[in-house]
Amino acid sequence: MRTYRQILWGGLLVASSPFALAQDDESKNWTGEGELGVLVTEGNSDSTNINARLALKHEVEKWRNTAEFRSVFAESEDDETGEDETTSEKYNAQAETNYKFDERQFWFLRGAYEDDRFSGYDFQSSTSTGYGNRVWQSGERSYLELKAGAGYRYNKLEEPGDDGDDVEKGTLLRFAGTFNYGLSDNALFIQELSTEVGLQDGKTITESFTGLQSNVVGDVSMKLGYRVKHESEVPAGTEKTDTEISLALLYGF
């Protein structure tokens, strides 16, 4: 019998695999970008921070498919022992497929999976589907896109909660928006916001990303980002709000 995790990864592969949807010359319409940010400090305190991201997009007349994979790793020297210790380790994957009714309206199917070593969860996952509308667009890079839908959440705790259960699951409502604005030919402002509300437990997860991307030379850009994730309920001993500040080189292809 397949586990939920296997089903989720299968859904992610389906949502991120447009080859089955386009078998002609249009199947070559791929774009993508890779990011890498590394910060190493030595002296009074030693630390290493690495963040990486890979994003893929495929778009044809009726279908748009996207996938994103992110990782964050941080290590610093313990002041008392002098040994290096990991302070952050996080892996995130999400994929989405859109069926376009017209130039602005579309149906979406989305899957997401996160493994955060210090979150108190073994993993967190969700799937959702619903309606989206690109309510405003100017050129290729500037647009406002809104989505609303429903789905299912399945999270595995590292330790059982007060009720003795180590699983959080239930239906949810999802609302999301993306605003991209081309400040110039070489600069792009990015704002993403999403909220998931559990219908059974009332747990709310809100995530925001604000970014500024500027072209350096050719297909290479510099990207500054600020990400905030807030959960209304978390396992004991963990914080409700996580923040990330990143500076990375980005290569578009």
Give the integer Cα–Cα distance in Å for 51 and 55: 14
pLDDT at 166 over 70: yes
Q: What's the residue count for the chain?
A: 253
pLDDT at 10 over 70: no
- Looking at residue 43, its pLDDT comes to 60
pLDDT at 170 over 90: yes
Top pLDDT among 81 and 136 is at 136
Nearest to 153 by CA among 126, 191, 186: 126
Local confidence band at 28 (pLDDT 50, 70, 90 cut-offs): low
DSSP summary character for residue 233: S
- Looking at residue 52, its pLDDT comes to 95
Count of Cβ atoms closer than 10 Å to residue 13 Cβ: 12
Phi, psi (deg, nearest 5) at residue 15: -65, -25
Q: What is the average per-residue pLDDT within 145-163? A: 92
Local confidence band at 204 (pLDDT 50, 70, 90 cut-offs): very high
The lowest-confidence range among 93-97, 111-115, 138-142 is 138-142
Structure token digits, residue 135? 């309510």
- Looking at residue 41, its pLDDT comes to 62
pLDDT at 104 over 70: yes
Q: What percent of the chain has pLDDT over 90?
A: 72
Structure token digits, residue 52? 């990486």
From the candidate CATH numbers 2.60.40, 2.40.160, 3.30.450, 2.40.50, the one assigned to the domain spanning 41-50+73-92+99-252? 2.40.160
Element (H, E) at 248: strand 241-252
pLDDT at 15 over 80: no
pTM of the model: 0.85
The lowest-confidence range among 13-27, 143-157, 201-215 is 13-27
- CA distances to 123, 127, 156, 188 from 195, rounded to whole Å, are 18, 13, 20, 24
pLDDT at 27 over 60: no
- DSSP letters of 91-148? EEEEEEEEEESSSSEEEEEEEEEEEETTSSEEEEEEEEEEEEEEEEEETTTEEEEEEE
Give the integer Cα–Cα distance in Å for 61 and 46: 51
Q: Do the beta carbons of residue 44 and residue 6 sit within 8 Å?
A: no
Give the integer Cα–Cα distance in Å for 86 and 7: 31
Q: What's at 172, amino acid-wise?
A: L
- Looking at residue 226, its pLDDT comes to 94
- Looking at residue 40, its pLDDT comes to 75
CA 13 to chain centre: 15
Q: What is the average per-residue pLDDT within 74-103? A: 89
- What residue ranges do the domains of the chain occupy? 41-50+73-92+99-252
Top pLDDT among 28 and 118 is at 118
- Looking at residue 3, its pLDDT comes to 47
The rounded mean pLDDT for the chain is 88
- Looking at residue 169, its pLDDT comes to 94
- As a 3-state breakdown, the chain gives helix, strand, coil percent values, each rounded to 5, of 10, 65, 25
